[in-house]
Chain A
Amino acid sequence: MSAHADNIPSSRHPLVSYIARWLLTTNHKEIGTLYLCLSFTLFFIAGAFAMIMRLELFAPGIQFTQPDFYNQLVTMHGLIMVFGVVMPGFVGLANWMIPLMIGAPDMALPRLNNFSFWLLPFAFTLLLSTLFMEGGAPNFGWTFYAPLSTTYGPPSTDFFILGVHMMGISSVAGAINIIVTIINLRAPGMTLMRMPLFVWTWLITAFLLIMVMPVLAGVVTMMLTDRHFGTSFFEASGGGDPVLFQHIFWFFGHPEVYIMILPGFGIASQIIPTFARKRLFGYRSMVYATVLIAVLSFVVWGHHMFTTGMPLFGELFFMYATMLIAVPTAVKVFNWVATMWRGSMTFETPMLFAIAFVMMFTIGGLSGLMLALVPADFQYHDTFFVVAHFHYVLYPGAIFGTMAAVYYWLPKWTGHMYDERLGKIHFWVAAFAVNLTFFPMHFSGLAGMPRRIVDYSVQFADFNMMSSIGAGLLGLTQVLFLYIVVKTIRGGQKATAQVWEGAEGLEWTVPSPAPFHTFETPPVIAAEED
């Protein structure tokens, strides 16, 4: 992250030029850094909401929060983690790494890139400001089902709608940029089937974003007109249907969950070969499996709605389609394991996070299969089992994936090695805490504890206490992570260009830290037998 102020007149006050530099930057590395900083900041804010919820759930009874405020916390935690942490985190990694990995000088549309980033701080300021409004923040969960969000939504719902529109525009613009960059700016010889898998998974994710974020924009627009302009899309008294809301929402929502994991698949596919010192097993099958997952994600939304009174054939269709997704996912897990098989493995922090990603994402995948079974889902629906399931795919999945990527590429970004000892402590404590937090939720859920409720019956007390202790520990480990990242930015052992012994790819041919401008003349990729 070298300072660079080519186009900023030097006569200005240093603070003004500092702000102008970050506000006006069109450099993919600086914008990547901005995305990652925003994601990290929001991670602590949404994490703090989770801490308050776990504190409340530490023991039965209502201790610290009123039910309505608890619902607002649930909503904000979900919305910000999904749209403010996981997605911008992955977009930040894409900005930093895709041009470096395909030998491009920058993103194809640098000004659009700047615009898509700067929409986000405003969108999230707007969203967070609802907490201080009269009537409180949105309290209907991140899924904002009608009529909770239409007839019964607080006045601040309109600010939420505007915030969602801004995030949506940002995501779509970012996705367009990524696709155009990947299609147009690959270095000579970088054919599609030679692209690193992180680039492949992002290409597919970007298409998913363009396909579904506008549907989300559509559904919040319908909400807005239902609330204020007399339409009845979701209002039964006017001939609408609230179940329609769920169909449109989950048509967006299910591809959205793959948007939150596919780049993580890409990251694991970069890191595991490096530390196993072997080529990735089954490159082609990885690409095809990712495409298949993306295609299938459009025909499984109904599995979120098994209990809405869907007819039998609908339930059967969505059940089988959902279970089909396990096949390409299993191909991926098999390939990662096969890459490690008989490799010369070492266990640096990124590798630890990547292996934990594979293992624990698989646990989340298996509980997903349980939820896909219609008769079982009738029992599990809206219990803590669902909470356990999606936190297993999101925390040790998306979040651990992002952390693995940060440890893996931080030396490239900063020019310094992070503190390996602290990194390993961070990993082991986080891996322990994540299981202590989320594993007991399977049991409380199976025993019937409903989700999104401030209080619970006494028989769930032990499991909840365990989850709360785990959550507190998990929160603390992320403070350690912040310390490690800041320490690495400020100094440390100098990193070489290749950084990792087994690392291969264009990003490792440029010096560490990566200079402000890279690949101004495209590198030539030597042909190798594919």
Chain B
Amino acid sequence: MSVQGTPQGHGKQAALLILLACSMFGFAFALVPLYDVFCELTGINGKTAGPVAVPDMPGPVVDRDVKIQFVAQVGKGLPWEFRPTVSQLSVRPGEMVTTTFYARNRAGTSVTGQAVPSVAPGVAALHLHKIECFCFERQVLAAGEAVEMPVTFYIDADLPEEISTLSLSYSMFRVPDVEPEQVASN
């Protein structure tokens, strides 16, 4: 029998294997930030980035029609009415576009909401740049208050040829009421 076939040899190997198991447990959690980084680089989960800096403004306008559809959803437990004011626009890459979303608080008290954007198809998220968006910060609506919230964005000229229609969707979620200066990271 080999030298390893002793209880000490067993213990050492078992310890190594336990270490492997523990590191795989850690790896499961490491997948969370890895996934975020991977998605940010490739845009595959349709999350859009934060505001674009002014020097990165669009290049020349390209003569090509891209249809963009707007979708709004209200999360569970948020007593709001929330919809796009225009459901669809035809835009050209490089062109600055502003549209608005309508929101009204149906509750008798002030309620705070946070919009989470998503672009489909996911890769298009890399080519949709927002200058200004209500989703950059939390929205506080007083009882019965109605607002039209603007989004200003452009689609860059690198949008893949095969994408002729894309959708920009916002899900509005209820968040705890906070001081107005504490804005969300996204």
User: Which residues of A does B touch, CB under 8 Å?
Assistant: 108-109, 112, 151, 172, 175-177, 179-180, 183-185, 187-188, 210-215, 217-219, 222, 233, 236-237, 239, 241, 243-244, 247-248, 251, 309-311, 314, 522
Contacts and interface: CB of A to CB of B under 8 A. Distances in A.
Contacts of A211: 20, 24
Nearest to B23: A214
Nearest to A177: B14
Nearest to B78: A237
A171 to B, nearest CB: 10
B9 A184 contact: yes
A378 B22 CA distance: 37
Contacts of B20: 210-211
Residue among A211, A311, A522 having the largest count of chain B Cβ atoms under 10 Å:
A311
Given A188-B1, A214-B22, A309-B121, A244 B75 contact: no
Nearest to B47: A241
Nearest to A237: B173
B173 A236 contact: yes
Given A236-B173, A314-B44, A214 B28 contact: yes
Interface in B66-81: 75-76
Contacts of A215: 24-25, 27-28, 31
A237 B75 contact: yes
B109 to A, nearest CB: 19
Interface of B: 1-2, 4-5, 9-10, 13-14, 17-18, 20-22, 24-29, 31-32, 35, 39, 42, 44-47, 75-76, 114, 116, 120-123, 171, 173-175, 185-186
A214 B25 contact: yes
Contacts of B175: 237
A309 B24 CA distance: 27
A418 B47 CA distance: 62
A110 B147 CA distance: 69
A232 B22 CA distance: 23
A241 B14 CA distance: 36
Nearest to A103: B1
Residue among B26, B31, B42 having the largest count of chain A Cβ atoms under 10 Å:
B31
Given A210-B17, A218-B25, A218-B29, 10 more contacts: A176-B14, A180-B13, A180-B14, A184-B10, A187-B1, A213-B24, A214-B21, A215-B28, A218-B26, A248-B28
A377 B10 CA distance: 46
The 6 closest A-B pairs by CB, nearest first: A218-B28, A237-B173, A214-B25, A214-B24, A215-B28, A176-B17
A176 B20 CA distance: 10
Contacts of B25: 214-215, 217-218
8 contacts: A176-B18, A184-B13, A210-B20, A215-B28, A218-B24, A310-B44, A310-B122, A311-B42
A210 B44 contact: no
B1 to A, nearest CB: 6
B14 A109 contact: yes
Contacts of B44: 310-311, 314
Contacts of A217: 25, 28
Contacts of B123: 311
Contacts of A185: 1, 5
Contact of A184 (B5, B21, B45): B5
Contacts of A237: 75, 114, 116, 171, 173-175
Residue among B45, B173, B186 having the largest count of chain A Cβ atoms under 10 Å:
B45
Contacts of A314: 44
Contacts of B9: 184
A162 B24 CA distance: 19
A215 B20 CA distance: 12
A188 B153 CA distance: 73
A311 B124 CA distance: 10
Contacts of B35: 241, 244, 247
A237 B174 CA distance: 8
Contacts of A218: 24-29
B46 A309 contact: yes
A175 B186 CA distance: 44
Contact of A151 (B17, B18, B76): B76
B45 A241 contact: yes
Contacts of B186: 239
A379 B20 CA distance: 39
Contacts of A183: 4, 13
B24 A212 contact: yes
B23 to A, nearest CB: 8
A309 B122 contact: yes
A288 B122 CA distance: 38
Contact of A180 (B10, B32, B173): B10
A219 B28 contact: yes
Contact of A172 (B21, B171, B174): B21
A213 B13 CA distance: 19
A218 B32 CA distance: 11
Contacts of B18: 176
Residue among A151, A214, A217, A310 having the largest count of chain B Cβ atoms under 10 Å:
A214
Given A210-B21, A211-B24, A236-B116, A108 B32 contact: no
Contacts of A184: 2, 4-5, 9-10, 13
B159 to A, nearest CB: 14
Contacts of B120: 309
B27 A108 contact: no
A179 B173 CA distance: 49
B28 A179 contact: no
A11 to B, nearest CB: 31
A248 B42 CA distance: 18
Contacts of A233: 32
Nearest to B75: A237
